Amino acid sequence: MAGLLQTIRYSLFLRLLAIFSVTVLMFFIIISVSIQTVTRDSAAIETIPDFFARNVESIIEDIGTPPNLSNAMRLAAELDWSINIRNPIMRWSSDGDNRLNLDDTTFVRSLADDAEIRSSDSEDMIVVRRDGYDFYLYQRSLDENAANLAVLYIGLALAGFVLFVNYFMVNRLLDPVRMLRRGAERIRRGDLSYRVHNDRQDELGALTDSINHMADSLQSMLEAKRQLLLAISHELRTPLTKAKLRLEFMPDSIEKQKLREDIDEIDHLIGDLIEAERLNDEHTALSAEPVQLAEFVESVVDQYFSYEGGLEIVLPSEDREFVIDKLRIRLLLTNLLNNAIRHGRDKPLRVEVIFHEGSASLVVQDNGEGIGPEHIDQVCEPFYRADSSRQRNTGGFGLGLYLCRLIAQAHGGSLEIDSELGKGTRISIRLMQRPPQISAEDA
């Protein structure tokens, strides 16, 4: 028995099955008892018990003719019946008001020469006519109807209570599922350091442990990948520096120029990789300082006014001070503008600074080729490109937007992309007025 209880406590399916079974059983009992009670009371009202039919003579003799009304009242109270007595000059009722219409009855059967059972409104009564008096005897039903309703209400209340307990127990069982869903969502968004709290010793506890172990494995694999990539990037710097040095001793030629461009591109890629890994490190500090944000953005955008397609910059009427890492925000804007020029098809670009309460949006919009909806969610991933080719003239290596997102997140902000294929792309960077890590250090 102990083993069975342990199995039930561990198995979510068996516990839900037990709750469902108990709920069905309780409903069956409540409904059965209510129906039986109501049916029994209804049957008692609609038919005359044999005891009264057999003893109607003694009842009438106790009342007497002429009737002793005190005896009639006492018998009505003892038998819990209504007694009505009538003759041409009197109408008396033990209950004050008649529940049944005594003037409209239907014959059912005879009990004696002067006694019969008649029916009114589908309910039987005993009628005795003796010595000029008519005696009407029938069961009281005030209490029966009220009792029937009470039984139904109590049954409904019990059913509601059972449902409430059932809801509470199932909701409590499913609380860990909701916690797991929230944890899985945070891990899916990239928060691999998050672990779902677990103090259960059942199937959900085992599932929670599996999810936490999965997050451990993912974090370990990604960290190993980061370290390998960072190590390779650093190691490439030495031969790249040697290649640059040797390049300077080569005579000028078209081949030398192409080689220099290739080396610069590799150098830029390595720089982006190292910067991305630094930003991925939660211990990396920003070199933040207060600046007038709109003025700073304008100083960066000024370098691109030679763009042939035309460049428009929209700034707020009043500037605000933001605490930012100038070098990294400059890198962010440079990447966004280079992307916009590369894919803008020589059409106008628009840069806008929008201030909000405690934050700002930096918006770069082009009217170029746009990004397909199937690529929107992936373009900020490292090395992902909507165009799978790796040619210089089609857009580099797919690190630009990834780096922009990391810089925005390091400043407590976010990167959002709104694009329509063939019509252009709008990228909005949300920056906090003071990055969270700076605020924490001040506190």
390: number of Cβ within 10 Å: 12
Q: What letter would DSSP give residue 358?
A: T
The rounded Cα 332 to chain-centroid distance in angstroms is: 36
Q: Give the pLDDT band (50/70/90) at residue 290.
A: very high
Rounded to two decimals, the pTM is: 0.49
**Structure tokens of 228?**
């390998």
Residue 317 has pLDDT above 60, yes or no: yes
pLDDT at 386: 64
Q: Give the pLDDT band (50/70/90) at residue 43.
A: very low
Q: Which CATH number fits domain 203-276: 3.10.20.30, 1.20.120.160, 1.10.287.130, 1.10.3720.10?
A: 1.10.287.130
The three-state secondary structure class of 78 is helix
Q: How far apart are CA 133 and CA 97, in angstroms?
A: 19
The strands making up 115-120's β-sheet, listed across from edge to edge, are: 90-93, 81-87, 133-139, 123-130, 115-120, 106-112
Q: Give the pLDDT band (50/70/90) at residue 42.
A: very low
Q: Give the pLDDT band (50/70/90) at residue 250.
A: confident
Residue 124 backbone dihedrals phi, psi, to 5 degrees: -80, 150
Q: Which CATH number fits domain 286-442: 2.30.30.700, 3.40.50.10490, 3.40.50.850, 3.30.565.10?
A: 3.30.565.10
The β-bridge partners of 325 are 288
Average pLDDT over residues 93-116: 82
**Residue 72 burial (CB < 10 Å; 0-12/13-18/19+)?**
buried
Q: How far apart are CA 186 and CA 195, in angstroms?
A: 9
Please provide the average confidence, as pLDDT, over all residues in the chain: 79
pLDDT at 412: 87
